[in-house]
Amino acid sequence: MSKSALQIERAKYQPKMPESLKGIVRIVEGKKTESVADREEIEKLFPNTYGLNEITFEQGTEQIEYSEINVGVILSGGQAPGGHNVISGLFDGIKKLNGKSRLYGFLMGPAGLVEHKYIELTKEIVDEYRNTGGFDIIGSGRTKLEYAWQFEKGKEILDALNIKALVIIGGDDSNTNACILAEYYAENHYGINVIGCPKTIDGDLKNEKIETSFGFDTACKVYSEVIGNIQRDCNSARKYWHFIKLMGRSASHIALECALQVHPNMCLVSEEIEEKNQTLDNIVSDIAAVVALRGNKGNNFGTVLIPEGLIEFIPAFRDLIRELNEFLSENEAEFKMIKKSEQISYITKKLSEENSILYASLPETVARQLTLDRDPHGNVQVSLIETEKLLAEMVAVKLSEWKKAGKYRGEFAAQTHFFGYEGRCAAPSNYDADYCYSLGYTASNLIAANKTGYMASVTKTTLPADQWIAGGVPITMMMNLERRHGEYKPVIKKALVDLEGKPFNTFLKSRDLWSEETDYVYPGPIQYFGPSAVCDQPTKTLQLEQS
């Protein structure tokens, strides 16, 4: 594999990690846990892995001889910076326990386990990928592990390779699957333990014991750099409003973090919009008001940050999508018979009055996306809706009306952007490189302690790395029941932006100033070398939450 100068230098970087993991490690059992909700139901579903104790690791004094062990690892779901370092930490951890231990990587996600596709991860392979972005060491995939036949197929290859522990690196859905797999193997006394690691750039896999999901730090810094560049261009040309959509379908953590880093003129927070029961017109009017405020002062430029999942948080829009899904699933054959040029008119007449009015108000491109671009289950693919273009077009219409009424004297021209894949495979920041390596090393110690159904946990990460606390959290602690595909299923509860929390309230105190003034911050690129104050700082969100 060819390497850039940065990769060559980064390969030399030795990630920092908790002091408790560096020598002899002692396990400390903490309090028993219970699920965040639906406790009776979750306990019934997970009788073998429910109510386990929290775990922390401390420096020990008693040397233990560990037997060699074969371990499997899976990268599951979307990519996030630092995944390779989790694998590096896991590899180094099991080799420290016993030099004869072996690590096998299942290829292209959970499908590799079911389809028996794997490679042994040797030192030569692992060393090629230390401190690099991406998941290309073994690839990733989105196959769900939820059926007994998949678990049994997995057991076949795990037995064949004499693998006694499996580490699944993924987000909330992937770790839900890890929990279900751990319960199944425990129930059947297969002697195969399952450990999870918290990954997702969206930042919605966190709780009191999982401070942040890995990749969030790097992705937000990458997006903030590019937004800062756009804002500098914006402040130079002074003639464009930039509507910037950011990753984050289920929560607005990325948009909020980027806002705290770059000080945009406006940042929408989906959770606040839902809380206020705002309509699409309310949102458009709010943006137009900021544009008019600045335009009337001669500042015909600005930036608006938009979470990817905004549309689903607007109550009226959510109702429209729900009715569209139900109607089109029940009338699919008839709908396909309608001429393409008449489909929007046809749909408009079939909807309830309120949804019909909303649907008719949408730009034609968005209306078509809501009816033509559907997933295999027949549902609207919300992530494909160009929300940034929708809002830019509707703001332009609103401002035109205000101009005719004499309420707006400025000029409006918009540019639209979507930053998504750009942040998923970036070389990890020092924070993510250190955090991920520590997670992998922690997972190796959970394996050594013969634990299953746990997620690796590293906390107190705003302190110097040697003071971080490593341990494990039972995954069942994070579970609740949610309605999926018409039935209630156990899933890890997503962490949304806390409207009472410090990050949002810090933003709240400043956003009026940012909307009126040009108070842009230009963060610049991630720094990997230099003063700790420049290289090692965690996100604003984490600093505020831990302050």
Q: Mind telling me the catalytic residues?
A: 202
Residue type, 546: Q
Distance CA 102, CA 264 (A): 49
> Is the separation of the CB atoms in 212 and 206 below 8 Å?
yes
Gyration radius of the chain's alpha carbons: 25
Residue 65, burial from CB neighbour count under 10 angstroms (0-12, 13-18, 19+): exposed
**Strand pairing class (302-307; 414-419):** unpaired
Tokens of 273: 């919009």
Beta bridge pairs of residue 61: none
- Under 8 Å CB-to-CB from 192, ≥6 apart: which residues? 155, 158, 163, 164, 165, 166, 185, 452
Supply angle C-alpha 495, 180, 197, rounded to 5.
Answer: 50
Measured on CA atoms in the order 38, 41, 42, 48, is the torsion positive or negative? positive
Measured on CA atoms in the order 348, 349, 351, 352, is the torsion positive or negative? positive
Tokens of 47: 């009788």
What count of other Cβ atoms lies within 10 Å of the Cβ of residue 331? 15
Tokens of 533: 């104050």
- Under 8 Å CB-to-CB from 426, ≥6 apart: which residues? 81, 133, 218, 219, 222, 526
Residue type, 105: G
> Is the separation of the CB atoms in 46 and 490 below 8 Å?
yes
Distance CA 413, CA 472 (A): 51
Alpha carbon separation from 546 to 36, 177, 478 (Å, rounded): 21, 30, 20
Buried b (16+ CB within 10 A) or exposed e, 318-328: eebbebbbebb
